[in-house]
Structure formats: C-alpha cells, structure tokens
Amino acid sequence: MSHSINTQSTKTLSKSGGLSGKVRVPGDKSISHRALLFGALAEGKTLINGLLPAEDPISTANCLKAMGVKISSIRKGVEVEVKGVGLHGLKEPDEILNCGNSGTTMRLMIGLLAAQKGNHFVLTGDNSLRQRPMKRVRDPLKMMGGKVFGRSNNNLAPLSIIGQKLHGAVIGTPVASAQIKSAILLAALTAEGTTTVIEPACSRDHSERMLKAFGAHLEIGGEIGRHITIHPGSTLKGQIIEVPGDISSAAFWLVAGSIIPGSDLIIENVGLNPTRTGILEVLEQMEANIEIFNIRDVTGEPVGDIRVIYQEQLKPFSINGEIMARLVDEIPILSVAACFSEGVSQISEASELRIKETDRLAVIARQLNSMGAKITEHQDGLSIKGRVQLKGSLLDSETDHRIAMSLAIAALTCKEQSIIERSNAAAVSYPDFWQDLEKLGTR
Ligand code: S3P
C-alpha cells in the first residue's frame, strides 16, 4: 500500500554525532496555565515573565479573553500582562469556548466555570480532547452542587456548564491528578464554606503554591501534603510571576544527552519542583551522568541548571506507584531511554497514560517497535528490553506532542534516516523544539 507523506509537518532526521551546548527550555506549561487563570481572577494586574508561548496556554488565554479578561499578546520573550477581573468578574461568553488540545485548559475551566453563578458556558476541544474523560472533574464538582453536562453520560465534551453558587465539601479524588485537584480548588474559591481535597498520592502542587502567593487562604496537611483545605473569602491580588523552564520539556534533552554518544549539554533554568522531578530519580536509577547546579528559588518554585553527559552503560529501571504522578508526562521519553539500558525496564501502574493526548502506552510501543524496539504492552504499563539497535523508519506522532519529540530523540540514534509525520504536534508545548534540536547539533 502506498502511503503519502504530508511534507508540511514532516521532519527528516538522521544520526547525530552528539548534542552539545546550552539550551533554555520554554516556560513550564502547568505553571503558565495557572498564572493566566489566577491572574484573571485576581484584583489588579498580573505580570508574567517566561510564560510558555505555545498552543496549550494560548487556549487558556483565549477562553479567558472570551469572558472579558484583557491579556496582552503572548510571544516568546515578551512579558504578558493580565488585567484581573476579580473572583466574580468573568462575563458569560457569547461563543463556545474552545480548549484546543489542552486537557489542563478544559479541566481547570470546568472547575472555574461551574462556580460562576447564573452564567451558561459550553466547552469543546479538538478530536483528541473530545475523547478524554471529564467525569473525573464533573463528579467531585457535583458533590459541591455543580451542574456540568456532556456526551456519554456526562463524560465527554462538548460540555455544557450552568454556573451555580457551590458549597464546600470534603472530596477524596480517585487518582492523583493535579487537573482534578486544581479544578476543585478553583471552584472552592467562591464556594459557601470550606473545601478539602484528599489525594491518593501527591500530584504536582503548582496551584497550591501559586494560590497562596496570590493571597488565597489554603492549608496543606495530612501525610506528605495530600490534604488541601481552602477557606473561601479572600480576594486574590495581582502578582509578578517568573515561570521556570518546563522539566517535561527538559526531559527530551536529558535523555538525548544520556543516550547519544558524544553529548555534553547544559539545560538552563529548569523547574525542580519535587512533585515533578521523578525523571531525575529514574535517570539516577539508570546511573546517567547528570549534575544539577545553581539551585535557586524563583517566585516560590525551585529552579536549577542541569548538565548531562553521555553515559555508555545505563541500568534498566522499574517504576510504579507514587512516583508515577511525578513523571506522568515523561513516560514516552523514558521509554526511549529504556531501549538503551542493559536489561529490561518495567513501567507499571501507568494506566493514566492511556487517557492522555493519545493512548501513550500504545502509541509509544507501536512507534518504537516499528524502529525495531522490543516493547511489550501491558494493560497498565510496558516492558522494554534494552540494548536494541533502533532502525530509522517512517514514524508518526499520531498528533501527540510528547510522542513527536520522543521519536525525534530516538531517530537521532539511528544509522538510517527517519521521517516523523505530524511533527508539528510539538508546538502544543515546545514550539521551538526543532530549532533547539538543530542548534544543539544534529550532525
Ligand atoms: C497537568 C497535570 C497532569 C499532566 C498534564 C498537566 C496540570 O495531568 O499530565 O500534562 O497542569 O495540572 P493529570 O492531572 O491528568 O495527571
């Protein structure tokens, strides 16, 4: 069967002689969404430096703009100004709100909008987002009096939300998901009474850190920060925010540097929030050559620079349980790393990966196996045999940004050329990925 290649969004890659130099990854995606959202709900101006100028945060900004929030243009290297409208100042939009490919935009918006009494909202997204489960946010909000409706038993977008005065509740979330937690916290800001979220494991805590900085009344208790209580009544005050580089984007260079002979690179200004650094623990398990230095605090988030040098012998890894929440977005690139280790790596308790932008367990196994990898897919994970020479091949991101970038790194290790179709997916979280790759030396 002949296969026609869409050259517009295709990248051709071949063997690299090693990546070297310095790179600054773009702003953290999770923090960027939150800076825009909390800035919109604050009184006064919020100034954001280093906001990720990519498709996902732009979806959040566009939804907020449609509800009357003034946000200056989002461009690389330009400070973004958000004119806050206060907790009760959002206008009912006269159009459907489009969240694009962004799960964070949709899930956080559901929490925010469910609490906008008297207003009606409709949320939709692209093909991928319209297949992702929203009931996990809808059900806890229902316990607070929220009215959210959608297809497939109120699970799928398009969603219709009828804003209500919500009441506080104690809510145990079934999965450690920062999107669910943050949606509840947003709803709780204006609810009647106190709300407590109890997580099964600690998910990324950017919302808690930033809400505190904006002046919300928040208490963190229980074991290792798993109970988050929010007392409504405080107004949020505009802030100046510095967004650190995204460790989930740095992950591609960390693995590239570790597996491509001759590499020696420095990734500057990487966010090192302990709820996000699972990848560093795995690379340590693999005995990769990684050094973290210049650790500092940047508006309430730990940040550092990371040097990575090629390591010939990498150990296999085994991951499951609570670490999954701390590296959930790094599984595709860690699967690439596993192909270069001296043994079999195991990823389990990772079924959340099946409901990301794509079914990432299936997609990464399919794509890497087409390069000759030895990956066996399980219901909740992958077994990956290491020390297999990958072969250049015709690859496809299957529209997933993290798959596109993971395949690019895998392709740099192959003698034969690879073609990655739908490579433009990278723009969802890392618009300059291909330029940075070239700069670091696709030799
Ligand atoms: C995110 C939380 C995670 C992560 C996503 C961003 C966030 O999703 O995978 O890329 O910003 O809150 P879950 O909440 O579904 O784990």
pLDDT digits (tens, 9 = 90+) for 133-147: 999 999 999 999 999
Q: What is the pLDDT of residue 154?
A: 98
pLDDT above 70: residue 443: no
- Give the residue among 72, 89, 76, 88 at the shortest CA–CA distance from 36: 72
Which two three-digit tokens encode residue 209?
């850190």
**Segment 92-127, tens digit of pLDDT:** 999 999 999 999 999 999 999 999 999 999 999 999
Give the C-alpha distances (Å, rounded to integers) separating 121 from 67, 150, 160, 364: 10, 12, 6, 36
Q: List the strands of the sheet with 156-162, edge to edge.
A: 97-98, 120-124, 156-162, 147-150
Ligand 1 atom closest to Cα of residue 248: 10
Two domains, one topology: 10-27+244-441 and 29-242? yes
Pairing of strands 97-98, 374-378: unpaired
Percent of the chain with pLDDT over 70: 97
- Chain centroid to Cα 284, Å, comes to 22
Look up residue 273 and give its two tokens. Answer: 């929030």
- Read off the tokens for 301: 């988030």
Separation of alpha carbons 391 and 387, rounded Å = 13
**Structural fold of domain 10-27+244-441:** UDP-n-acetylglucosamine1-carboxyvinyl-transferase; Chain (3.65.10)
pLDDT of residue 2: 38
Query: Is 139 marked active-site?
Result: no
pLDDT at 226: 83
Is this prediction's pTM over 0.85?
yes
Amino acid at 17: G
Residues near ligand 1 (Cβ within 6 A): 30, 33, 104, 177-179, 182, 204, 328-329
> Which pair of structure tokens corresponds to residue 229?
């209580």
Q: Which residue has the higher pLDDT, 8 or 34?
A: 34
Considering the domain 29-242 in this protein, what is its CATH number? 3.65.10.10
Torsion of CA 245, 54, 241, 290, to 10 degrees: -10
Q: What is the mean pLDDT of the chain?
A: 96
Distances (CA, A) of 304 to 77, 250, 286, 309, 343: 19, 12, 21, 17, 31
C-alpha–C-alpha distance, residues 253 and 430, integer Å? 12
Distance 178 CA to ligand 1 centre (A): 6
Residue 438 pLDDT exceeds 90: yes
Rounded mean pLDDT, 28-46: 98
Which atom, in ligand 1's list, is nearest to the CA of 181?
14
d(CA 280, CA 272): 9
Of the pLDDT bands very low, low, confident and very high (cuts 50, 70, 90), residue 441 is: confident
- Give residue 104's identity as a one-letter amino acid code: T
pLDDT in tens, 77-86: 999 999 999 9
Q: How confident is residue 222, by pLDDT bands cut at 50, 70 and 90? A: confident
Tokens of 150: 């959608």
Closest by CA position to 370, among listed 415, 410, 405: 410
Ligand 1 centroid to residue 146 C-alpha, Å? 22
Sheet arrangement for strand 301-309: 20-24, 264-271, 301-309, 289-298
**pLDDT tens-digit readout, 329-382:** 999 999 999 999 999 999 999 999 999 999 999 999 999 999 999 999 999 999
> One of 329, 396, 400, 432 is an active-site residue; which one?
329
401 vs 399: CA distance, rounded Å: 7
Residue boundaries of the structural domains of the chain: 10-27+244-441, 29-242
Query: Does the N-terminal peptide bond of residue 158 adopt cis geometry, omega within 30 degrees of 0?
Result: yes
> Does position 225 have pLDDT exceeding 80, yes or no?
no
Res 43 pLDDT > 90:
yes
Tell me what pLDDT residue 224 has. Answer: 60
pLDDT, position 1: 35
Looking at residue 5, what is its pLDDT? 52
Taking the C-alpha atoms of residue 47 and residue 302, their distance in angstroms, rounded to an integer, is: 19
Ligand 1: residue whose CA is nearest its atom 10: 329
* Category of 100 on φ-ψ map: left (φ > 0), alpha (ψ -120 to 50) or beta: left
